[in-house]
Copies of this chain bind each other. A is one copy, B any other.
Amino acid sequence: MKATIYHRPKSEDAYAYDKSTMHIRLRTGKNHVRKVNLIYGDPYDWTKNQWVTSKKEMTPTGSDAQHDFWFVEVTPPYRRLRYGFEIITKTETIYYGESGFLDTPSKDTSDYFCFPFMNPADLFSPPEWVKDTVWYQIFPERFANGDPSRNPEGTLPWGSAAPTPTNHFGGDLQGIIDHLDYLQELGINGIYLTPIFEASSNHKYDTIDYLKVDPHFGDKTTFKRLVDECHKRGIRIMLDAVFNHAGFYFPPFQDVLKNQQHSKYSDWFHLRDFPVRAEEPPNYDTFAFTPFMPKFNTENEEVREYLLNVATYWIKEFDIDGWRLDVANEVDHAFWREFRKRVKALKPDLYILGEVWHNSLPWLAGDQFDAVMNYPLTNAIIDFAGKQKIGQQRFEHVITQLTHMYPIHVQQVAFNLLGSHDTPRILTQTDNDVARVKLQFLLLFSQRGTPCIYYGDEIGMTGGQDPGCRKCMVWEEEEQNQELLSFVKRLIQLRKQEKAFGTEGDLTFVENDSSLLIYQKTYENQQLLFVINSTDQPDSVQLPVSWTNRNANDLLTG
């Protein structure tokens, strides 16, 4: 039993939630423990040589296949905390602290866990506006062609061919401006644009000039207009910063190829030996193994200054609201700390979103990012409601794990998505079953975090893995799935209307013996009940006792 217990101070298990509130969690083996109390006090509060402690019961907050989780909130008056756990099973009571397990509560504070001081400087504090945001991701080359004069050579007629790694359809910033009414009507209030800076590919992740809008997309005047038009409509705008690697045609890298060890940029990249060879496998560090994306040496001061200047330039000059950081997990933490400091000094409520596909707490401790792209949630939703790879119980376990993987305020601004330019489209992933797509959107929108819609998913566009998922947006209404679109609009409305529905509602799974997934979301006095059938068979279930004889509205169908 003891061997299954885990707690870690200064982590997802113990953190300052705000300036005065501490959150404490404990993990115990499944069904081992009947009750847990937190024993806690100020480390310096002694009376007659006795440390003064209080006791508070912890609440169970869910289970996965192996563990139960417990939670409690305390407000230390002097912002200092020593604490331990009183763990009660059917047969025994034990005490758990930093030094391990004891049979009686220790009188020695050094046997307890420590949260020495709740310094506001270390608080995780994302911008206030993020919680209320519904995002929309746009891949500019494929959203709308608003200015044919900017078409690259060989541009194909809109939607006339399948997307390939190299073809062009002329999408641009004017196209986005032209369709802001559509987005406003949809109800989103944040746009994430994949890269718009000059680059040679159609996806623009191989930057040539970080200070220039790609001429196929527009110029700075167009971009400024786009930002202004968005802001007028209450829509925030986030750009994509590709700071892990440059493009092959980035002039400093070209200089390296030309001048080799004599190039003044030779320390800007991780070159293994000379001559630098731009072939596979490259003899310099790259993104993955592609010679076309040489990795930056962010330990070089000039590189750091160059990139940080880029980061602040687009804020200062264009008032953008967020930076999404490409391949953020492969860049050093020291760089991101400096990045945060610089951009927040300029615009304190700028949102920093890292592309990290795995458990990301090392980037989310308050000193680096505000959020990451929450692909673990994507996988869980698709596996359950999309592909039926996992059943309702396993889904509950995974959601419970994710809930306990991050502090609550971290989850509240997590960037939740069903797909992106890097994954097959959600409708294609789920065998063109629109009902399943609706179910997945419903699950996405009712989790903690802020949902993002990949352009076109709301109207039922299809497409496999990149480049398939990058088709031209369909603008003919008769070719859009209007029913799906209405459903997504309704979800967006619900997030705005019902606090319990979205990021601030507390989610509890309701045990039941059907094949249905049932969960309740609560915010203050409001309660919402979700009953979800992800199987192909009808099923019925008795409502939980607390829901019988109550007036309730069906929010989805009205």
Contacts and interface: CB of A to CB of B under 8 A. Distances in A.
Contacts of A29: 3-4
A381 to B, nearest CB: 14
Nearest to A270: B79
Interface in A321-363: 329-335, 337, 356-359, 362
A330 B299 CA distance: 30
A379 B357 CA distance: 41
A106 to B, nearest CB: 12
A117 B67 contact: no
Contacts of A357: 110, 114
A100 B405 CA distance: 12
A243 to B, nearest CB: 13
Contacts of A110: 357-358, 375-376, 379
**Most central of A45, A362, A401 by chain B CB within 10 Å:** A362
Number of copies: 2
A330 B78 CA distance: 11
B67 A3 contact: yes
Given A100-B65, A110-B358, A44 B289 contact: yes
Contacts of A329: 114, 116-117
A298 interface: yes
Contacts of A44: 288-289
Contacts of A116: 329-330, 356, 358
A10 interface: yes
B358 A98 contact: yes
A113 interface: yes
A314 B498 CA distance: 58
**Most central of A79, A117, A379 by chain B CB within 10 Å:** A117
A218 B30 CA distance: 63
A66 interface: yes
B6 A285 contact: no
Interface in A1-55: 2-4, 6, 8-10, 29-30, 44-45
Interface stretch (A119-127, A488-496, A499-507): A119-127
A332 B30 contact: no
Contact of A358 (B101, B113, B356, B398): B113
A80 interface: yes
Interface of A: 2-4, 6, 8-10, 29-30, 44-45, 64-67, 78-80, 98-101, 110, 113-114, 116-117, 119-122, 285, 288-289, 298-299, 329-335, 337, 356-359, 362, 367, 375-376, 379, 398, 401
14 contacts: A4-B4, A6-B6, A78-B285, A80-B330, A110-B357, A116-B358, A117-B330, A119-B299, A119-B332, A121-B332, A121-B335, A122-B332, A122-B334, A337-B367
